[in-house]
Amino acid sequence: MWFWNPLYFLFTLPALILGLIAQAMVKSAFNKYSQVRTLRGLTGAQAAASILRTFGLFDVTVEETQGMLSDHYDPRSRTLRLSPDVYRNSSIAAVGVAAHESGHALQHAKGYWPLQIRTQMVPTVQLGSWLGPIIFMVGFFLGGRVEGSLGYYVAVAGLILFAVVALFAVVTLPVELDASRRAKQILVTENILDRSEMDGVNRMLNAAALTYVAAAVQAILTLLYYAFILFGNRRRN
């Protein structure tokens, strides 16, 4: 079928390979430094709570959630959720992840505009990520290659949803990079980690940043692929 043709892999394979490499690097760094206890012995939950108190974010709660590396900050409920391996452990990896998520809470408190944009986009992206391909395919099979036809405009609507997903991936990049920057700075300035322990944090957060780069590149290339399919061989009605 047209949407499984080799051209799709030509567009998306480089980003897919980059993403797989980045994910392997994250898992490798996390597994390695989850075995190295911090000098101060703080758990991820304690490190996060300490950072939040230092910056006066007493209304942000820290709680445990299930899943491996499922850590995230929810700006709607002002809740920082940490996976068991991060919440309970006093490893360099756990503290690094907790500090990164605390960085998102600091972004929220300071009105960091890329985070605000990303938060507002979440409902649309959740809808577009699964509905976009369906709408596009329906439009294409309704004659989407014929410019001006009903199918063409339906396919364009699907393409717009693809574009929103790609934009979300791009906006996510500065949000994640800034959170990591804040985390690295805070861990040292607040004496949560010694400078000698930062190599592990740097390796892990830098690898995590690469996964977001790969996701953004893949989203953009996927958008370009579907745009090429729709506009590359269109006929006028």
Name the catalytic one among 101, 147, 176, 190: 101
Residue 63, Cβ neighbours under 10 Å: how many? 12
Dist. CA 21–CA 24, nearest whole Å: 5
Whether 101 is catalytic:
yes
Rg over alpha carbons for the chain, rounded to the nearest Å, is 21
Dist. CA 23–CA 212, nearest whole Å: 10
**84 burial level (CB within 10 Å; 0-12, 13-18, 19+):** middle
**Dihedral of CA 217/23/119/53: which sign?**
negative
Q: Give the alpha-carbon dihedral of 57, 61, 66, 70, to 10 degrees.
A: -20
Cβ atoms of residues 107 and 179 within 8 Å: yes
> How big is the chain, counted in residues?
237
> What amino acid positions are annotated as catalytic residues?
101
